[in-house]
Chains A and B, each alone.
Chain A
Amino acid sequence: DVKVTQSSRYLVKRTGEKVFLECVQDMDHENMFWYRQDPGLGLRLIYFSYDVKMKEKGDIPEGYSVSREKKERFSLILESASTNQTSMYLCASSSSTREQFFGPGTRLTVL
C-alpha cells in the first residue's frame, strides 16, 4: 500500500510567519504534488516535482515555494503566511502519469 504522510493534521499560525509543511512518501514515486482545497474551488495545484531538486509551478504558486532534496520528501513553504492561505493542504505522489495517492492533509489556519 502506498503511504503518503504529512507532518501535521492541524496547524495554526500567525500572519507573517514562515510555515513549513512536510510530505513523505514511501513508494519511490518520482512525482510529488502540493494542492490546496477550498470549498467551491476544488483542488488547485500549487507546485509539483518530477525529480529530486526539480520543481514546476502549478496553477497558483504565488506566495509559496517548495523544496525537494530527497526523492521521498517534498516540502511546501509559505514564506510569509497570510489569512488568504488558510486552507486544506494536500500532498500527493504518483509514478509516471498514473493515479495519484494523497496524504491525510494539513488544515492550516492563519490568524
Chain B
Amino acid sequence: RKEVEQDPGPFNVPEGATVAFNCTYSNSASQSFFWYRQDCRKEPKLLMSVYSSGNEDGRFTAQLNRASQYISLLIRDSKLSDSATYLCAVNFMDTGRRALTFGSGTRLQVQP
C-alpha cells in the first residue's frame, strides 16, 4: 500500500462547478500537510498548507481529518485556469526525514 494515495482522475468538471479531492495517508505520526499544483511539464508549486483547523484561501478550502487519516481540497467556482494536477504531500515525523512524501496527483480538467 502506498504511503500517500490519491485518485488519479481525471476529474472533468464544467466551469463554475465545485470539485473536491481527497488524499489518504498511511502513517498516523504525520505533522505537516500540503497541497501543490502542477501544470503540465512544470514544477509543483505550493497551493496551500493544511492546518488542523482547516484553512481557506479564496475559492480553495483545505481540511485535515486526523481520525480517518486524510486531507481534502475543495475548489469552488472552478475556472478553466484551475486545470492542472493537484498533489498532496505529507511529512512523516517518525521516519526522521524532513522530506515530504507526495501522492501521485489528481488531474483536474475544467471544461467550458
Contact = CB atoms under 8 A, between A and B. Distances in A.
Interface residues of B, number: 23
B1 interface: no
Interface in A80-111: 90, 94, 96-105, 107
A90 to B, nearest CB: 6
B99 A33 contact: yes
25 contacts: A33-B99, A41-B104, A43-B44, A43-B102, A45-B101, A48-B97, A50-B98, A56-B97, A58-B99, A90-B44, A94-B98, A94-B100, A96-B98, A97-B31, A97-B91, A97-B93, A97-B98, A98-B32, A99-B46, A99-B89, A99-B100, A101-B46, A103-B43, A104-B43, A105-B42
Interface centre among A41, A50, A96, A98 (most CB of B within 10 A): A98
Contacts of A107: 41
A107 B87 CA distance: 20
B98 A42 contact: no
A97 B32 contact: yes
Given A41-B104, A42-B104, A97-B91, A31 B43 contact: no
Interface string B23-67: 000000001101000000111111001000000000000000000
